[in-house]
Structure 1
């Protein structure tokens, strides 16, 4: 069935079977575990997932793609929804474990990531394809140019593992950028602070990443500088755990609800 991709939906369909096999091989789920695929398109990856797993769910917003999936692939549960509006609690397996896999549209990669991180207690891990530049930010070490808001939040809430790169030629139509596949394993211990307050502290710090933290965090701290932190450093020089520790401290003294 011929299918014209929609630019407005950021559709770049994976056509390289070698990459598809590598993604399927990277999934650590058991046969009976639930697999949720984000943005299956016309099912290039989905058709291999159903061969390996008994409980495959897909989230797809494009009715034309759904028509193809319904015609060509048996044994899947289709959720016609915007992935940013799904109720993850409704989608995960009530009995077993749930794994996520997806080729994320570039223009909504960050919101999808934050949604998965917010609901990380529901999933075992997520294997995600995204723009290489974004993937490198998630995995970035401190004191590097790529290290920032995405790095801190992702690394506090998951273990990040870069798996492999994907050439533009593996897609139809080819995107203008390189892609990467990574795994987020949701195995990090529960933080002593809320996600919401952590996000506030981290975003405030990196909004002025060239300044010392004493200046960039002034909107949150005012003139307060708790002991045990080097506020002369720049935001990129603090480890993720330092941001979590400071946020928890601010909550404990009533500066953040």
Structure 2
């Protein structure tokens, strides 16, 4: 006679799959359902809510003839829904495990012929032609992906992208907003950006640290697309938004910017057979320093000098300064870091570049004392037009 099996205590494992399902906690169930461990370095947070996936595809307004580029398809929860609506899906995946998983998911189904998986980094590769971009975007590549798409000569008809909430807000920020940036100007200048919906962190596996949002980006096409060079416009914005809360005069007065502008002007003159005077300024000594301007000192003078243009030298016999002030001055001088004087001499070309920048900022646009965070796209267009008229380019 067989033995009667006794019920096992809660601490012991059961051989019955039904018992295992009912006794396992949420954490254990999530671990067993994972095909493999997700790589946080790749920003792998899989969208698990089918309602959110359906809403993203619906907002893309897909046509049966569309070729869709999906960045970071993961395990394919969003991909299979796109495949049902579009003619073809090109999925770009960086993780070989994910690429194998999504390929296996559609293998042997009618959707298999409509899927092309490309293994690689979407930021570094040349993109094939496509009509629509859909992505649960890895947060690390959010900004590079936006700039790559906007800079395409033939951008997609529409892009529906999932971003970190704060990043999504930057895309739609207006002048004067705390999140207004170079990204805001570029995205709104070259496209129409619309915030579609908020997505909570509980809709992902594993949950990210931040909330997310879905944004639709519709590039301006045809007659609506600005007749401006992307490289020129973005190059100008890079300088202006180096520190967006400084005045524009301060942003254009650093050594690095002056050196870059001079280099670009030399190239412009060489291409247009314009002679350049490389002579030195008569009577000028060493130490051709840029006009560094900080937020508190915006008179146009170097930040570390007073209105006299430096410390006035006084002979020992004529110096009647009280000893107290001499000691105080010596202590203050000793506490400051020693500055190595620049050996670069003032050149006529360098002085001409400074004068051109001053003319553009003060005479032509009157934007010298305005801050980039308060300017709109018309202000930046006026700046670009004025600099181009002076032979200064940024491409």
Decide: shared fold, TM above 0.5: yes
- Would you say 1:111 and 2:144 are equivalent positions? yes
**Matching residue within 116, 120, 130 for 1:77:** 116
| Cα distance between partner residues in 2 of 1:5 and 1:245 | 48
- Would you say 1:27 and 2:164 are equivalent positions? no
2:274 corresponds to: none
Alignment of 1:1-257 (within 5 A): 2-73=35-106, 74=112, 75-88=114-127, 91-93=128-130, 98-119=131-152, 121-187=154-220, 189-218=224-253, 219=257, 222-224=357-359, 225=361, 226-256=363-393
1:77–1:135 Cα change, 3 Å: same
Which consecutive unaligned segments of at least 5 residues does structure 2 have?
A: 1-33, 107-111, 262-355
SS state of the match for residue 174, structure 1?
coil
Comparing 114-123 and 46-55, the one that deviates more: 114-123
Shift of 1:55: 1.4
Shift of 1:120: 5.5
Which consecutive unaligned segments of at least 5 residues does structure 1 have?
A: none
Contact 1:123 1:186 in 2 (8 A): yes
| Cα distance between partner residues in 2 of 1:24 and 1:184 | 14
Shift of 1:144: 0.8
Shift of 1:253: 2.8
Contact 1:120 1:157 in 2 (8 A): no
SS state of the match for residue 123, structure 2?
helix
Contact 1:191 1:244 in 2 (8 A): no
Shift of 1:13: 0.8
| Cα distance between partner residues in 2 of 1:198 and 1:217 | 15
Shift of 1:131: 0.5
| Cα distance between partner residues in 2 of 1:153 and 1:172 | 32
Deviations 1:200-256 (A, max 9, x none): 221211222222222223336632224244332211111123213321332233111
- The count of residues paired between Structure 1 and Structure 2 equals 251
- Please report the RMSD computed on the Cα atoms of aligned residues, expressed in angstroms: 1.8
| TM-score with structure 2 setting the length | 0.60
SS state of the match for residue 236, structure 1?
helix
| Cα distance between partner residues in 1 of 2:154 and 2:252 | 29
Shift of 1:31: 1.0
Deviations 1:125-154 (A, max 9, x none): 111111110110111011111101110111
SS state of the match for residue 85, structure 1?
coil
| Cα distance between partner residues in 1 of 2:132 and 2:153 | 11
Moved over 6 A (4+): none
| Cα distance between partner residues in 2 of 1:23 and 1:160 | 15
Higher RCO, 1 vs 2 (CA within 8 Å, ≥6 residues apart): 1
| Cα distance between partner residues in 1 of 2:366 and 2:153 | 29
SS state of the match for residue 90, structure 2?
strand
| Cα distance between partner residues in 2 of 1:222 and 1:230 | 11
> Which structure's CA Rg is the greater one?
2
Contact 2:196 2:214 in 1 (8 A): yes
Shift of 1:59: 0.7
Report which of the two has the higher share of strand: 1
Shift of 1:27: 0.8
| Cα distance between partner residues in 2 of 1:127 and 1:208 | 30
Comparing 182-191 and 11-20, the one that deviates more: 182-191
